[in-house]
Structure 1
C-alpha cells in the first residue's frame, strides 16, 4: 500500500465521510429524536432559548445545550434533520480528536482513537441526535484538564475543568460529575503531582467545580425564575428519580454487564492480550488513569435505578485508552 493511500485510510476525515451519508439521509427516529427536534423547533420558532418546550409544555427532561447547538445550525443552514445529524457526527469527530490528543499526552499512539472509532457503540450512535455524545466530549475535555493539573498548570487546569463541567451540566445535567470525579478524586493513585500536593490538587478541583457550577447556574437560575415552580420542581424530581426507583428505564443492577462487551464489538472478539498485559494496567500511569476514569462511574451506573445502553457512551473512550 502506498503512503498517500495509507494516510487517507488513517484519516479521521475518511471515517467521517463514510458515516456522512447516514447523517444526511436517515430521518429522525421516534420517540426521542423527534421529541428533541420538536423542542429545538419550538425554541427556534419562539426565540425563547432559556426554557425548552415540547408541544407548548415546559420540557424539564433535558438540559438545553444540544438544543442550542442544533438551533444555531438551523439558523445558518435551514431547518433540516441532516443539520442535527451532521452536528452529532462533528461532536463524535471531536471526541476522537480529544482522545487522540489525550493518548499522546501519555506518549501513546493513535490506536486508542481508532479503537474508539471502530467499536459498535460509536459506529451506531455517531450520528444519533442525543445528549450522551456531547456529554462524552465534555468528559474528555475534563480529562485533559486533570492532565493539566498533573502537569502543574494549575490556572489552565482549573479553567478547562470548570468549562468542561459547566458545559457537561448544560449538556446532560450533573451526571457529568459522576464521570469526572473518579479520576479526579483518585488522582493520588495515578498522578505524582496529586500525591505531592494533595491540598492544592483538591483545592483546584473545588475551584473547577465551583466555576462549572457558575456556568450552569448562569442558565439555570434565569430559567428557574422564568419558569417558576412548574419548571424547577419537576427538574429536581427527575434528577432524584433516576437515582432510586427510577420513574423510567428501571433495570436490575447487572443489566449493563452483558451490554458493555457488545458496545465494544468487534474488539471484544478480535483483540487478545496476555494476562500480564492486563495486570500491567494497575502499574502504569496511563492504565491507572483509565481505570480510575471508567470503573467508579460504571459501578455507580450499575447501582442507579434508571439505565439505558447509551448512558455508557462516555465510558468508551476510557476503555479504548485502557
Structure 2
C-alpha cells in the first residue's frame, strides 16, 4: 500500500488528537517555558523583533526564531492580553505533527509502508516527544527543522549514482532547513545538518554526491536567511549577544556542566529507557537486525544520522534529555524496520545478551506500570484527592501495558507495539485531562496570579514577590512583576502605598517586617497561598500584603 494524501491527513488528525489534551490546562512549566512565553509577549508589545528580552534583561541565549513563531501565533489568535498559554504552544503542536508525518514518510520510503506507520507511532507516543510537544520551547520546532534537513539529505545522497541531476528543490530544502535551524538554536543545527553528510563521506569514502546540494547558491541562501538578524543584533547588543549565546551558552555547555546539568558520558543511553518509552524496548530488540543490515544503504544512512549527533552530546559536559531528541525519528525508523521485516525483532542468541535484554525488559515494564499509576498516586499524595476518571484511565492503560509484555514474550512484537501504544495514549489522556488540571498544590503561579486579580486594590496594581521568583509568575501576573528580596518588597510598598502588593513567604517574614519598620509603614494581609514549588521541592506559605497605614 502506498500512502496517499488522505492517509497523511488521517495521521495528522490522529497526532493532533493525541497532543491536544493538556495544551490549555497545563500551566507554564518553570523555568524555561515561561521565559520563552514572556519574551515573545514582550516582543509583540514592543514591536522590537530583534532584541529579545525577559522583563528588562536581555535574553541572549538563542537567535530570535522561536520568539518570532510564538509572537506570530499569539498575534494571529489575538490572545496577547489574555495570557493564554495554548496560543504560545501552537508552533510546537504544528512542528510535532510535521515531524511525525516526515518520520512516517521516511520509514515508508526506506523500508515500506508498515515500517513508516510503526515509526510514526513510536515517535508520537514516546515520553520525551509527548512532553516536548506540549511546551512552548525550541526543541519540537528544531526537530522539524532537522527532519526536513535529513529528508533532503536522504534524497540527495540517495541519488548519488543517478545519471540525472537531483531536482533543485531538494537542495533548496536542505539549505533552507539549515537556515531555519540556525535561527532557532544557532550552531546546534550544524551538528545534525553537517554531521550526517560528513559521517556518510567517511563511511563511504566518497563526496561526489555533495555537488547535488548546490552549495554555490545554497550557502548564500543560508547567509541571506541568517545574516540580517545577526547584523541587527550585533549592532543592538554591541556584540554582547554572540559573546553570551556562543561563548557562554553554547561553548560553555561543551566545557562544563551548566545549571547543575553536568553529567558523565552514558547519560543519554541510560535515560533512553524512559525518554523513548514505550519504544525503547523495541529499539533494543532491533539491535540484531540493525547489526545484520548495517551495510544496507538505508540502515547506513540512519546510523550516520544517529551516531555523530549522539556521540557529540554524550561527550559534552552539559546534558539534558532533549539534546538527543533529533535522533529519535531515525531510531524509530530502525526499530520499525525490524518490526516490519520478515524476521522481525528478536532476542539475541548469546545467553548474556538474553539476560541483559530480559533485565531491560523488566525495567521497561516497571516504567510502564509507574506511568499508568503516576496520575492517581500524585493526586492522592499531593491533594488528598481520589479521582475516579484518573483511576479509570490507569485501569484501562495498565492491562494494555501488561498485555504488551505478554505479547513480547510470545514473540508477537507488532501486536505488542499496538497494545502498549494504546496503553500509553490512554495514560497520557488521563494525565493531561484528569490529573494535571487538578494538581493545584504545585501550580503556585496560576493561583497567585488569580489571587492578585481578585484582591488587588487597583486595576494597575503591581506585585513584588519574595520567596517565590519563578518566571511563570512574571508571565501570569504581568511584565512589571518585581522579583525582589524582603528589603526590596518593603521599599516597593513604600513607593506605591495605594496600589502596591507584596508577596512574602514565611521564611522571609522577619526580614520583611524589619524592612517595613525602617520604612515606617504598616501592612495588612489580603490573602494566603500555600503549595509546593515543584522546581525545588519546597513547601511554601506565601502571604499577600498591601499597605495598611503610614506610621511616620
* TM-score greater than 0.5 by the shorter chain: yes
Q: Does structure 2 conserve the Cα–Cα contact (< 8 Å) formed by 1:188 and 1:198?
A: no
Does residue 117 (structure 1) correspond to residue 128 (structure 2)? The answer is no
Task: Single out whichever of 15-24 and 149-158 deviates more from structure 2.
Answer: 149-158
| Residue 177 of structure 2, aligned match among 126, 139, 164 | 164
List aligned pairs for 1:1-322, cutoff 5 A. 11-77=11-77, 78-79=79-80, 80-109=84-113, 110=116, 111-150=118-157, 151=159, 152-153=165-166, 155-188=168-201, 195=206, 197=208, 200=211, 204=214, 208-238=218-248, 239-248=250-259, 249-269=261-281, 273=285, 276-322=288-334
Q: Whole-Å Cα distance in 2 between the matches of residues 115 and 216 of structure 1? A: 34
Report the 3-state secondary structure (helix = DSSP H, G, I; strand = E; otherwise coil) of the residue aligned with 1:63.
coil
SS at match of 1:24: coil
Q: Which protein is richer in strand relative to its size?
A: 2
Shift of 1:164: 0.6
TM-score of the two chains, using structure 2 as the length reference: 0.53
The CA distance in 2 between the partners of 1:261 and 1:86, in whole Å, is 28
Q: Deviations over 1:181-205 (max 9, x none)?
A: 23212334788xx94825635x745
Change (3 A) 1:280 1:180: farther
In terms of fraction of residues, the more helix-rich structure is 1
Deviations 1:49-80 (A, max 9, x none): 11101111211012211111111111111222
> How big is the shift at 1:274?
6.7
What root-mean-square deviation, in Å, do the aligned CA atoms of Structure 1 and Structure 2 show?
2.6
SS in 2 for 1:251: coil
The higher radius of gyration belongs to: 2
CA distance in 1, matches of 2:144, 2:286: 31
Q: Quote how far apart the aligned CAs of 1:112 are.
A: 1.3
* Deviation, structure 1 residue 38: 1.1
TM-score scaled by length of structure 1: 0.88
Q: Is the 8 A contact 1:184 1:205 kept in 2?
A: no
Aligned length in residues: 313
Distance across 1 between alignment mates of 2:94 and 2:147? 15
Structure 1 unpaired stretches of 5+:
1-6
Indicate the structure whose relative CO is greater, using CA pairs within 8 Å and at least 6 residues apart. Answer: 1
